[in-house]
Amino acid sequence: MSEQKVPAFADSDAEDLFNRIIQAVPDAMKNMVKPMLIGMAEQKAGGGPITVDAIKEMVEGLPEPQKSAFKQVVSAKKGLDPETIKVMLQECGGDISALFFKIMGSMKYIPPGAVREIAKQTGIPEAHLFHLVTTGRAFSLFLPEQQVTVCAGTGCAVKDKAKSIEAIERLVNESGPEKVNLKKVRCLGCCDSGPSAEVNGKKVALNALQSQLETFLKG
Amino acid sequence: MKIKDTKEIEVMAIGGLKRLKPDGVRFTVGSAVCGLSKGAKETRDVLTAEIAKAGLNAEIVAVGCNGLCFAEPVVEVIAPGMPKVTYGPVTSEKVPELVKAVKAGQVLKGIALFKAGQEQLLSGAPVQYGGSADLIDSAEFTPLKGQVRIVMRNAGLIDPLSIEEYAATGGFAALAKALAEKNPSKVIKEVETSGLRGRGGAGFPTGLKWKTAKEASAPRKYVVVNCSEGDPEVGMHRALIESDPLSVIEGMMICAFAIGASEGYIYISDKLTAAEEKVRVLIGRLSESGLLGEKIMGTDFSFTITVKRSTGAYISGEETALLNALEGEMTEPRPRPPFPARKGLFGMPTVVNNVETLMNIPAIFLKGGAWYAGYGVEGSSGTKVLAITGDCERTMTIEVPFGTKIKDVISMAGGVKGKKALKGFQIGGPGGGILPAKKSSLPLDYQKLWKEKTMLASGLVLMDEDTDMVNMARFFIRFFEEESCGKCVPCREGSHRVGEVLDNIIRGTGAKGDLDYLLSLEEPISDTSACALGKLLLAPVSSTIRNFPEDYTKKIGG
């Protein structure tokens, strides 16, 4: 399948930017739009690896309203240059986990480049920072196309007689976290109606989710 | 108003009482996360519209969770000349009928659950409601029968964001009393007399912890609220702190006064956004009211609270890992001793208590340790909040005195779903193992449960006759595999190896020696892990092998 082709990016910044642009595309159109944008960006890059400049040029060449929508994403990128990180660090009073929550809030993920920049600015070892980011389920180092959250507490595991949660886990494990990222949380809301599930923050029924994922991953 | 004297809290209470028993009608809608997920927001919206349409003099208050999850959205109606009537579930379609009935001074049959003639408040004098209604009394309602609400005294009753309403129930009276008496040792004495134990699972005597921190000499001391509930069964602490955050804050301040701390932290799980929001709003309001910050209630006592969000890992609820996280270090446990009460946050004496423990404190200090010790049994005094979930008829949160038999708690929840037989239950979290049905005759009692190699955590999970215990053991081991912080090799690697053996058994390729092998791992892994997560890693496996051997032998053969 051509759309499964992994594009070559010049650096992590270019990849970050591209992923965030894809995130701005409505869910239903992602599969169609993504290969088109990859093709256009590759063209602008002249056949070499895709650079940030090539992506910006590609956005300029798009028709409205996509152009302004994506341009917003491009300018939002400025949110994480070294200067902004410095300001954010000050705002958080040097509290690293508060900083990570802040970045998570504005970007929905933590770009690995930003973690390295924080390490540079604070002198805290990179390994330590990556450890903080990967402890617990609050942070993510990439922006998945679909963020799936399911209840995986004991009560819900007992109630899930059809073993849907396990089936969903198996499905997702085959896809890789960039496509579908599965977050197992211990309680999502009302235990009485559990197990509950969310896709990109919207509540869905567990059995509906299973078939939705099957279509998304295999269709 | 700004409180400038310890006596002024009573003035605030008067304003709050007018809200709890208004001249018009008071509708309270259970709007904690559990209520909202079952449509409380829609119910509230329709209620607002219908009240305007009917021209009813009424106000709608978003309250917390009163523990009746199965009946959410729960609506309570306080109307003049009527007892308080509790309805549930009140979906938005039911609202027009309800408003019509309330306007006519009637009870809407069908969804009415029970009535209450009065409200017992911590402050002493109960709020009396008038009139009568042809309904069972709250004390006769099976899910509530036998409950004693100390921790949940305000849950579902007050607006969690209203300092006035909290004060009306007797809130901040305990703090005012402590500050006026200026005797920290007396506070600790009362907590010791009460016999209160930490409700996190280990059951360490709270008074002793406080005393240790008080006696340690240091330039600074801290109080930390552990609200990073990682227990994989229930959102019990979330329900508690969402419904009555001020009780937690007051408990924390009383502790700070007792041990001589002026700084506190609330460490709250990242999933508890609604609760965190409430706490942050309240910290602002309390500072404006002179109940937080410098010279609280005009005394020399000063206290500030910092809210910090946890990353939601199971390990972040472990006392010493939590302290590491607060310091910006890796969320990994520290070796003990030194215990945090001597050398905790930033090397200073620190009391770490969880939400449920602290919510007991205002009641204990106001009514006296002996009063609290009057509930429960020897060695386990007071009450315990448990979230009942799994295969039960009614999912709910209850609060019962210690000594109550587990099977009685199960009947309050309506027994096993679909009238099936109970196979086993879990009461101590993932590290507490699974007990067989016959052990449900045990009472809630720390010592007796420890003897059964389990604990008392925040939930009671029922498992019906169809539950496969090998699969349950596998579920818990997977939980430990995912949640091990990786510091100690036996826990990090051991969890994977145990998982592999269980996978073999489930696949039907298990060998006869597997069970002995699994059991032989318990001691070494437990002995060589730094925290309870590793120490209790094998409990789900060893308990199921011990209590449900037939589930294993069926798969392995003979």
pLDDT in tens, B93-143: 999 999 999 999 999 999 999 999 999 899 878 899 988 899 999 999 999
Domain residue spans of chain A: 2-75, 81-134, 146-218
Contact B155, B34 (CB under 8 A): no
Query: Looking at residue B489, what is its pLDDT?
Result: 95
* Tokens matching residue B191: 């907590």
Per-residue pLDDT of chain A (219 residues; tens, 9 = 90+): 344 456 788 887 788 788 888 877 877 788 888 888 888 888 888 878 888 888 888 888 888 888 877 877 777 655 578 888 999 999 988 888 889 999 988 888 898 889 999 999 999 999 999 988 888 778 888 888 788 888 888 888 888 888 888 888 888 888 777 788 888 887 776 777 778 888 888 888 888 888 888 888 876
Q: Provide the chain B residues 440-479 that lie in CB contact (below 8 A) with chain A.
A: 459, 461-463, 466-467, 472, 475-476, 479
DSSP structural state of residue A5:
P
What dihedral do alpha carbons B423, B425, B430, B431 form, nearest 10°?
Answer: -100
| pTM for the predicted model, two decimal places | 0.88
Query: Looking at residue B312, what is its pLDDT?
Result: 78
Give the closest of A96, A131, A154 to B232, CB-based.
A154
Q: Which of A124, A132, A149, A191 to mutate to test the interface with B (most CBs of B within 10 A)?
A: A191
ipTM of the complex, rounded to two decimals: 0.83
Q: Which has more pLDDT, B492 or A43?
A: B492
Contact B372, B194 (CB under 8 A): yes
Please tell me the CATH code under which domain A146-218 is placed: 3.40.30.10
Query: Looking at residue A77, what is its pLDDT?
Result: 53
Q: Which has more pLDDT, A73 or B199?
A: B199
Longest dimension (CA), chain A: 57
Shortest distance between the Cα of B285 and any Cα of chain A, in A, equals 22
pLDDT digits (tens, 9 = 90+) for A6-29: 678 888 778 878 888 887 787 778
Which of helix, strand or coil describes residue B155?
Answer: coil
Shortest distance between the Cα of A1 and any Cα of chain B, in A, equals 33
Question: Per the CB < 8 Å rule, is A135 touching B390?
Answer: no
Shortest distance between the Cα of A76 and any Cα of chain B, in A, equals 25
Q: Tell me the average pLDDT across B507-515.
A: 93
B333–chain A Cβ distance below 8 A for any pair: no
Chain A neighbors of B543, CB-CB under 8 A: none
* Neighbouring residues of A181: CB distance < 8 A, sequence distance ≥ 6: A140, A142, A144, A146, A147, A148, A172
Over pLDDT 90: what percentage of chain B?
86
pLDDT digits (tens, 9 = 90+) for B372-407: 999 999 999 999 999 999 999 999 999 999 999 999
Q: Which has more pLDDT, A170 or B197?
A: B197
* Tokens matching residue B75: 């609506």
Shortest distance between the Cα of A70 and any Cα of chain B, in A, equals 30
Give the closest of B238, B271, B390 to A158, CB-based.
B390
Query: Looking at residue B226, what is its pLDDT?
Result: 94
pLDDT at residue B26 tops 90: yes
Q: Which of A97, A154, A182 to mutate to test the interface with B (most CBs of B within 10 A)?
A: A154
Picking from B292, B320, B291, the residue whose alpha carbon sits closest to that of residue B306 is B292
In angstroms, the CA B405 to CA B408 distance is 5
**Chain-centroid distance, C-alpha B184:** 26
The residue of chain A with its CA nearest to that of B332 is: A135
How far apart are the two ends of chain B, measured CA to CA in Å? 74
The residue of chain B with its CA nearest to that of A149 is: B271
The rounded mean pLDDT for chain B is 94
Over pLDDT 70: what percentage of chain B?
99
Query: Looking at residue A64, what is its pLDDT?
Result: 81
Question: Per the CB < 8 Å rule, is A192 touching B485?
Answer: no
In angstroms, the CA B185 to CA B259 distance is 9
Question: Per the CB < 8 Å rule, is B330 touching A154?
Answer: no
Question: Per the CB < 8 Å rule, is B330 touching A196?
Answer: no
pLDDT digits (tens, 9 = 90+) for B519-540: 999 999 999 999 989 999 999 9
Shortest distance between the Cα of B384 and any Cα of chain A, in A, equals 19
**Domains of chain B in sequence order:** 18-144 (3.40.30.10), 172-373 (3.40.50.11540), 376-464 (3.10.20.600), 469-556 (1.20.1440.230)
